[in-house]
Amino acid sequence: MIYLDNAATSFPKPRAVTGACERLLRLPLGNPGRGGHSPAARSAEAVFRARENAARLLGTEAAERVAFFGGATAALNTAIIGTVTALGRAGSPLSVYTTVFEHNAVLRPLYALEKQGKITLSVLTPEGLLPALAKAPPRVLVLTLCGNVTGRAFPLKEISRLCKKNGTVLIADAAQAAGHMPLEDAFSRVDMLCAPGHKGLFGWMGAGFLAVNPASPVIPEAVFSGGSGSEPQSPGMPLLLPERLEAGTLPVLPIASLSYGIEFLLDRGVASVQEQERAHRKALIEGLSVIRGVTLYEPENPDGPVLYNRIGVNPEAEARELEDAGICVRAGFHCAPLAHAYLGTGDQGAVRLSPGLFNTPRQIGEALHCIERIVPGAL
């Protein structure tokens, strides 16, 4: 099998991660923060270590400002809804900007807030973003660091400068950036950053985090309420991070796997991982560009997935044909319908190839050979 769907979830996981998780599974684990006995303490230690590792990945010492959730979607919902709740006033909707390249994990909570009358939403093209920020600054901007469709990125330095100048809260979706590129500079420029554990951080599905920059002018309100392990007699969630945002039992094992994945990445060097993945992306683009009838979308982007279509070939059918040949890709709309409308693929989507650290040049060559053999009109 040649796996080229790492933008959905990474595979395989490093042996350092799977081995550490297997050792942890053999130990008695309790509910973190819910008891003084050793099984509970062991789980709490694993979660605390994960906070510290996530903070290291982001270049901050503020581990207490890393809150864990069941995934990046829950983290983004908390960042977006919690920030609007913290800043909002009754009868006065907040101005919020986002872009056409955002995932539904960003778009759908924003649409819901707009329907509730809590925000006025502007969804901007890449060309319109900077002029809009300069002319009519919003109260909140939600932005991907690396798009999940074509790897589209935005000029974060200039965007951050405008946001800080005008008091705009900047929330970053790092789902396709975490583990694939260094994040220290990006985190220093945003107010909040959300990431999953199961993609570039090599953890299991079931955990993600929201990191609140110590310089952020706002801390989001809790979106989920429940047991927190601290202040049990309070009718509301605790005021301090991370307990302020973490309700219920944390997914200890997925969080631990995320932690081990970060340790693996930091030992390997995130910049080194980025260099290798960029080489795979470049090879795919060069190979696809000489296949007759191929349309590549935004091939100039240095990072992220490779998106293409071919004249006469339905992308879903092509993905099935490639799967029959042992090559795992994804076709369709990739939970980013506005990006496809912008790219002109809104009628059927496109084929997405997302190589990862553990792909080899030989695998990339074999995948290109299989794609070349698919005959347009025969599917």
CATH number at residue 56: 3.40.640.10
Query: 223 with 366, same domain?
Result: no
Mean pLDDT of 339-350: 97
The Cα 42–Cα 39 span in angstroms is 5
The Cα 106–Cα 123 span in angstroms is 11
Would 378 be classed as within a structural domain?
no
Q: Which of 79, 55, 107, 47 is nearest to 253 (CA)?
A: 47
Length of the chain: 379
Whether residue 194 has pLDDT greater than 60: yes
Query: 149 with 247, same domain?
Result: yes
Query: 251 with 311, same domain?
Result: no
Query: 146 with 122, same domain?
Result: yes
Task: Mark which of 224, 245, 268 sits at the end of a domain.
Answer: 268
CB atoms closer than 10 angstroms to residue 157:
10
CB atoms closer than 10 angstroms to residue 206:
18
Q: How many domains does the chain have?
A: 2
Cβ atoms of 201 and 262 within 8 Å: the answer is yes
CB atoms closer than 10 angstroms to residue 246:
26
pLDDT band at 33 (very low <50, low <70, confident <90, very high): confident
Query: 212 with 111, same domain?
Result: yes
Say what the pTM is: 0.96
Query: 295 with 166, same domain?
Result: no
The Cα 225–Cα 213 span in angstroms is 22
> What is the average pLDDT value for the chain, to the nearest integer?
96
- Structure confidence by residue, pLDDT tens digits, 277-297: 999 999 999 999 999 999 999
Query: 185 with 240, same domain?
Result: yes
Q: Give the domain range for residue 160.
A: 15-268
Which residues are CB-contacts of 361 (< 8 A; sequence separation ≥ 6)?
279, 280, 283
Taking each helix axis from N to C end, the angle separating 252-268 and 38-58, rounded to the nearest 10 degrees, works out to 40
pLDDT band at 161 (very low <50, low <70, confident <90, very high): very high
Return the beta strands (E) in 100-214 as ranges.
119-124, 140-144, 169-173, 192-196, 208-212
Whether residue 227 has pLDDT greater than 80: yes
Query: 219 with 315, same domain?
Result: no
Question: What one-character-per-residue DSSP string does 342-369 give?
Answer: HHT-TTT-EEEEB--TT--HHHHHHHHH
Would 379 be classed as within a structural domain?
no
Query: 243 with 320, same domain?
Result: no
Whether residue 84 has pLDDT greater than 80: yes
Task: Mark which of 222, 253, 268 sits at the end of a domain.
Answer: 268
Going 169 to 230 to 42 to 248, the CA torsion angle's sign is negative
Task: Tell me which DSSP letter residue 27 carries.
Answer: S
Looking only at the bridges linking them, the beta strands covering 66-69 and 208-212 are antiparallel
Task: Mark which of 268, 291, 326 sits at the end of a domain.
Answer: 268
210 in helix, strand or coil?
strand
Give the residue carrying structure tokens 């329907």.
Answer: 115
Query: 325 with 192, same domain?
Result: no
Query: 247 with 316, same domain?
Result: no
